[in-house]
Amino acid sequence: MQYYNAIIIVTAFAITCALSKLLVKRTSFISEKDSQYKTIFSCFLAIIAGLFSVALIFQATNKEALHNFIIEDHFLEWFGFFVLFFGFLFTGYYFIQIAKEEKKPFPLKGLTLFCLSAAFLFGAMEEISWGQRVFDIESGEFFKANNAQAETNFHNMVVGGVKLNKLIFGKLMFVFLLIHNVFWPLAMKKWDKVKTIHEKIGNFVPPWPQVIVFIIAALMVKLVDHKRHNELIEVTGSLHYLVSVIAVFGLGFGKEVKPKASKKAVCIFASAMGAVLLGLLIVFYIA
């Protein structure tokens, strides 16, 4: 049965890769000057469509397979960890590049990347409970008493009967994403002061094609009939920001002058995602 599930996953990703490449190639909504972005956006679209396709196919054919695909310590959660970890590496790299250009250890222009890099690292470590499940470390008394799953992490903490995962990583995160992806770009066009702050702290606007995909994914996630279906949107959001960072700082999306190593950034991203997906497939479905 595991080999059968592996075939489903491979087939779903193969189809979404082909369709994503064809869709991006035949549409003109991305400028030709951003040709490298077309490639990375195609990868982003293929991965998100592939994950959702696998979840929906398993839901229709084998509920147990869906459960195994989406539960903790399995394919989806570990993929989310690697997306966050690569996000930390890429943002850290681009922050260092800005620090070298500005000749300062902590330039104001790199503030956004520094904060995002820290957020990526925090998210990655939270996914694996700071190594607890990897190294089989027992939780301390504090986490046993205040964590909903008695794990060493913060997103499952319960404070005053309120689960932090729903408050901070749910509602507040939704507000942040709405502001940064929708209202912030509009505010930049309307008020010069907002644009000045944007440039001073090295902020970036996520490319609009990805924002549309993210919104569609957020609407579709309810179709997946599983209590942990929000894992899909969490992975989508993490990948959205990873690709956004590469697009803006590595590929110069929307800018006239493109970085010299833009093609290299795309190759590294595509190779890393391909290696992670293949590795997880082998570990959880073939080995």
User: Over the stretch 216-249, which tens digit does the pLDDT of each residue have?
Assistant: 999 999 999 999 999 999 999 999 999 999 999 9
Read off the DSSP letter of residue 181: I
Q: Which amino acid would we find at residue 74? A: H
- 140-174 burial, b at 16+ Cβ within 10 Å, e below that, comes to eeebeeebebebbbbbbbeeeeebbbeeebeeeee
Instruction: State residue 231's pLDDT score.
Output: 92
Instruction: State residue 70's pLDDT score.
Output: 96
* Banded pLDDT at 254 (limits 50, 70, 90): confident
Read off the DSSP letter of residue 163: E
Note the helical H segments in 103-155.
111-127, 132-135, 141-146
**pTM of the predicted model, to two decimals?**
0.94
* Banded pLDDT at 167 (limits 50, 70, 90): low
Question: What is the domain partition of the chain in residue ranges?
Answer: 2-133+202-286
Q: d(Cα 213, Cα 51) in Å, to the nearest integer?
A: 13
Measuring CA to CA, which residue among 117, 237, 125, 232 is closest to residue 181?
Answer: 237
Structure tokens, 98: 């800005």
Structure tokens, 283: 């570990």
Cβ atoms 271, 86 nearer than 8 A? no
Instruction: State residue 123's pLDDT score.
Output: 93
Over the stretch 65-85, which tens digit does the pLDDT of each residue have? 999 999 988 999 999 999 999
Cβ atoms 75, 231 nearer than 8 A? no
Q: d(Cα 269, Cα 78) in Å, to the nearest integer?
A: 17
